Chains A and B, each alone.
Chain A
Amino acid sequence: MNWNLLVTELVAGITHGSVYALIALGYSMVYGILKLLNFAHGDVYMVGSFIGFGIVTVFGGAQSLTVSVWVLLFVMFFCAMLGGGLLGVMIERFAYRRLRNAPRIAPLITALGVSFFLENAAQLILGAQYQSYNSYGWHNGELWVKGFTLPAGVHVGIAQVIVVVGTIVLMIGLTLFVQRSQLGKAMRATSFDREAAAMMGIDVDRVIVATFFIGSALAGAAGVFNGLAYQQVWPYMGFVAGLYAFIAAVVGGIGSLPGAVLGGLLIGLAQSFSIGYISSTFSDAVVFAILIAVMLVRPSGLLGKAAVTKV
């Protein structure tokens, strides 16, 4: 038994799964409230990642940072989450709001349109080249040199710890917000029955805007996490990540927040273990096989609830 391989795949799967989970949360939140598959969500993640890259550049670039890593991280996350959140609100306001009562295919097509618009706009403004956070170069690579070693001799860098711990903190924060705050309760009520919530005096518009802001802010954070751990940023990065996150949300049960997290981790682990123990060529096949298997056994996802239609 190669324990080193096992533990490395475990760490890789959890790290990558954390990023998927954060993106999947946004998918699930919006679906829960509006029953809309927001395919532009992956591109909000891309924009968040570019904002983080912009902050690195503003502070002197990877090789010659003018501030400490912790200050940099704080500014990156703040700007990426704020920027992502505001972008999400703008998308809702200008692309989806007028289509709230339209047939479901209309906002779906619009979501695809917004996705293409964001990708092409990013390519036009930022160029098609791959850019790199190069976090390996920040202050002599302290985010990767420092860290701790697991029993099988697997080194875990601080960058990976930040991704996993950051994701956990954000997920706990979101859960507490949804369960305990007034706005969170309003979100749950709107998700349960939008019309009834409105009749009970809940400002549904405000709830929807808040949902888009929070979901998109999480995507922005995921973009920075991705840059931190996997370096690369490019205009079309949101498509693939968004696709996996969508699968994660569906596997976990779309509309369910714990389901999104579970789905994200499951997809991340499936990817890394299939690469490590089967073949890198078939890792995508394994992920989609899991999706099909879950859909066959539990069509509503692992933690999803079957929709009941009253007639």
Chain B
Amino acid sequence: MTMLAVDVKRTLPNFTLEVAFSSDGTIALFGPSGSGKTTVANLIAGLVKPDAGRIVVNGDVLFDSTQRIDVPAHKRRIGYVFQEGRLFPHMSVARNLDYGRRMNGLPRDDNDHDRIVAMLNLGHLLTRRPGKLSGGERQRIAIGRALLSKPRLLVLDEPLASLDAARKAEILPYLERLRAEKLPMIYVSHQPDEVRRIADHVVRLEGGRVAAAGGVELLG
């Protein structure tokens, strides 16, 4: 079964997005800014609604305009790591990490929790508030928070874009570990070197359309 099949159309006043692709494993949405990468990520997560089309994840139809199916974002089980972390400032790191589990009504899973906290090296941060953490720490927590909601697919939208080179080097190994764990991922980026380290498949977008789809050789 194909992990992800997308065929969507969305028209804005001065931009038309018309994108179709299907793939497995770790998929990179690659392209220059303004090519529609983030919009595609938002459409898959359910934050933006397509005008028409179909989105299927692991055989589950999340959106189908002809069948009038539109699963709301909170029922899609798609973890989303945003460019700017978006941690909840009024909660401790531990509460942030636990948020998805509580909202989904999942039972406590200490093994999973401890494994992810150890993998992302978050143990010493649990009692802190997000306000005064470094960009790299915040982004690791954001990744942990998304993972702990037990998503069936993880969307990462330029998770390294707001970090400096040293912080990027700090986060990349964690992302490579996720790839090694075979968690289905969509990685949005315009950096070929990042994509090469993280993705198996590449969908190259240009001006709201798929310019090419295939392996990492597309990165040139």
- Do A and B originate from a single complex? no
Chain A interface (Cβ within 8 Å of chain B)?
Answer: none
